[in-house]
Structure 1
Amino acid sequence: MENLEIPLSDEEFVAIKQRVYKIAGISLSDAKRTLVISRLTKVVRGLGLRSFSDYVDFLDRGADADQVQTFVNALTTNLTRFYREEHHFAHLVDYVGTLIENPPRRGAGGKPRLRIWSAGCSTGQEPYTIALALIDAYPQLKRWDFRILATDIDTNVLKTASAGIYKKTDLAGLSAQRMAFFENAGPDTVAIPRAIRELIAFKPLNLITEWPFKGPFDVIFCRNVVIYFDRPTQEKLFERMASVLSPSGFLYIGHSENLNSVNSRFDRVGKTIYRPKTAMGRSAA
């Protein structure tokens, strides 16, 4: 009996949607009702509560920061893979090649500086792909002040990302050359090499709250993240990203996303690839 899902009334569903929107900016559609029930039933029962109404009251009156985080973690969706939307990484490699020829700024110890932000990094495949692609193309980056910031609101996926251990099945579809980048970690697992892991800082971040950094980033990946936000939240997010992206940098977004109707600070220069208007004036594509 305890394994049965808890019924969710219309009023309770609205209350949950309002709270996750207020906390994380996530806009749940009516189609997500089944997802809410399946993911939160275990949480509600684990707290010894009988209904979603009791859970909403708990969130409002007695939940601590960890319990609020559990609520958010349960309602986030994480879908990623290595080298997903490969054209982005091909473009990234070409762009960084121009920076290597003419470094725009210096960092620690006078070394050429390169900063990349993976916003909504999920279980880490995106930032690790960024690092692997760039180090493979330009080994000299190991001598640069090169760092990748990888953030996500879901603390559970960040634990997986930080560990850098994946199932061998997660490498399905990769070429033998790319599979060779990974280290064997067991009969069914592979590991990200330590030298690659050390380039990346995984940090929890709620994108609608204050950001503990000012940039500038040379590149921002924010792919398949804003599809969970409503239009006003998208507008604010991309406005803020424009303020921390280098004037000559690039923003990569998801295959189902489009900035043209959301923010006027960017021009499209390729398939889901954008650049600040101040870098080039009119769009090149």
Structure 2
Amino acid sequence: MYQPKQHSPDMSETDFQVIADIAHQDAGLVFTPEKASLVRSRINRRLRKLGIKRFSDYIAFITSQQGEGERKSMIYSLTTNISSFFREPHHFDLFANKVFPKLLSNARNGGRVRIWSAGCSSGQEPYSIAMTMHSIAPDLSNLDVKVLATDIDADVLEIAKTGFYHPSEIENISAGYQKEYFSPSTNGTQKGYLIDQRIRGLISFRELNLLHDWPMNGLFDAIFCRNVVIYFDESTQLRLWPRFEKATAPGGWLFVGHSERLSEKLGTSFQNVGPTTYRLPN
């Protein structure tokens, strides 16, 4: 039987602007009118899930007290969660060859080492960090070395916590790492690979909006915040980088995304020491 094509609800310019304003206010995300079709597509999924027919009704809901939870779900749907293992490999080469050996020496002398993956998405970045460290020091569980992995999206954090990945997601990982750190597994009806508990045990996953307070105690020896602030406007970026400086230990490292740079307007003490790599003086 012929089924007429169902048309998606229309989103007016006013609807778009309200959604864009909320995304900017709550999460620092920037959506220009050129992104209206993207926003419409992603929010349509929320309308279908909730059984809401019109954008205006959806906006009335998310701006009400009853819609606070959905407002967060809307932000999740608008964030871009693209990640892969060992993305931008030059960072991991530098981390393995120059950064971590000194941190490991400190840990073996009774010190603490803390790494932060800010905007960790579905976990590939923090797991890549942990595998890099463990390949150098298999006795990490006996040392005070931890990775904090945070993201604004609670849904992708749940995926990250499982440590379960589709075969296509681990294709770019070396055969040695695959053999050492992954084992065939299933998640419901899905077949894939599970990351070893030795790696999962090094990481703590936490929900965190970078625009809000950061409740962490202590400073970080290295921070990976890559391909995150690119989605923020300049004023938000200018507020964030100094906060990262305050969270970084003397001599600590900051790794950013391939299209991100620390503006000279900042006046921070971070020094550019390589491609998309910064460091604080000791």
Same fold (TM over 0.5): yes
TM-score (norm 2): 0.91
Q: Which residue of 2 aligns with 1:132?
A: 131
What is the letter of the counterpart of residue 127 of structure 1? P
What is the letter of the counterpart of residue 162 of structure 2? A
Q: Which residue of 2 aligns with 1:158?
A: 157
Runs (4+) of structure 1 exceeding 6 A deviation are none
CA contact (8 A) 2:219 2:248 kept: yes
Q: Which residue of 1 aligns with 2:272?
A: 268
How far apart in 1 are the matches of 2:105 and 2:231?
38
In structure 2, relative to structure 1, the CA distance for the partners of 1:102 and 1:50 (3 Å cut) is closer
How far apart in 2 are the matches of 1:196 and 1:223?
21
Q: Which residue of 2 aligns with 1:34?
A: 37
Q: Percent identity?
A: 39
1:228-239 alignment to 2 at 5 Å? 228-239=231-242
Q: Give deviations 1:35-85, integer Å, cap 9, x for gaps.
A: 111111121233343322222221112444421221111101011100111
Query: Is the counterpart of residue 171 in structure 1 residue 175 in structure 2?
Result: no
What is the letter of the counterpart of residue 183 of structure 1? S
Query: Is the counterpart of residue 120 in structure 1 residue 119 in structure 2?
Result: yes
CA contact (8 A) 2:107 2:145 kept: no
Q: Which residue of 2 aligns with 1:282?
A: none
Stretch of structure 1 that moved more, 32-41 or 55-64: 55-64
1:27-66 alignment to 2 at 5 Å? 27-66=30-69
Q: Which residue of 2 aligns with 1:141?
A: 140
TM-score (norm 1): 0.90
How far apart in 2 are the matches of 1:193 and 1:103?
22
CA contact (8 A) 2:113 2:144 kept: yes
Among candidates 55, 78, 81, match of residue 78 of structure 1: 81
Q: Which residue of 2 aligns with 1:184?
A: 184
CA contact (8 A) 1:135 1:142 kept: no
What is the letter of the counterpart of residue 237 of structure 1? L
CA contact (8 A) 2:119 2:151 kept: yes
User: How many residues are matched?
Assistant: 273
1:101-120 alignment to 2 at 5 Å? 101-103=105-107, 111-120=110-119
Q: Which residue of 1 aligns with 2:100?
A: 96
Q: Which residue of 1 aligns with 2:243?
A: 240
Query: Is the counterpart of residue 6 in structure 1 residue 5 in structure 2?
Result: no
Q: Give deviations 1:114-153, integer Å, cap 9, x for gaps.
A: 1011000000000000000111012233321111110000
Aligned residue for 2:165, secondary structure, equals strand
Q: Give deviations 1:180-238, integer Å, cap 9, x for gaps.
A: 12112148300011121111111110110111114300010000000110011101111
Stretch of structure 1 that moved more, 182-191 or 74-83: 182-191
Aligned residue for 2:63, secondary structure, equals helix
Among candidates 246, 251, 256, match of residue 254 of structure 2: 251
In structure 2, relative to structure 1, the CA distance for the partners of 1:157 and 1:262 (3 Å cut) is farther
Q: What's the CA shift for 1:89?
A: 0.9
How far apart in 1 are the matches of 2:87 and 2:44?
32
How far apart in 2 are the matches of 1:121 and 1:161?
8
Among candidates 209, 212, 229, match of residue 209 of structure 1: 212
Q: Which structure 1 segments of 5+ residues have no match?
A: 280-285
What is the letter of the counterpart of residue 183 of structure 2? E
Q: What's the CA shift for 1:2?
A: 8.7
How far apart in 2 are the matches of 1:226 and 1:262?
16
How far apart in 2 are the matches of 1:161 and 1:9?
36
Q: What's the CA shift for 1:275?
A: 1.0
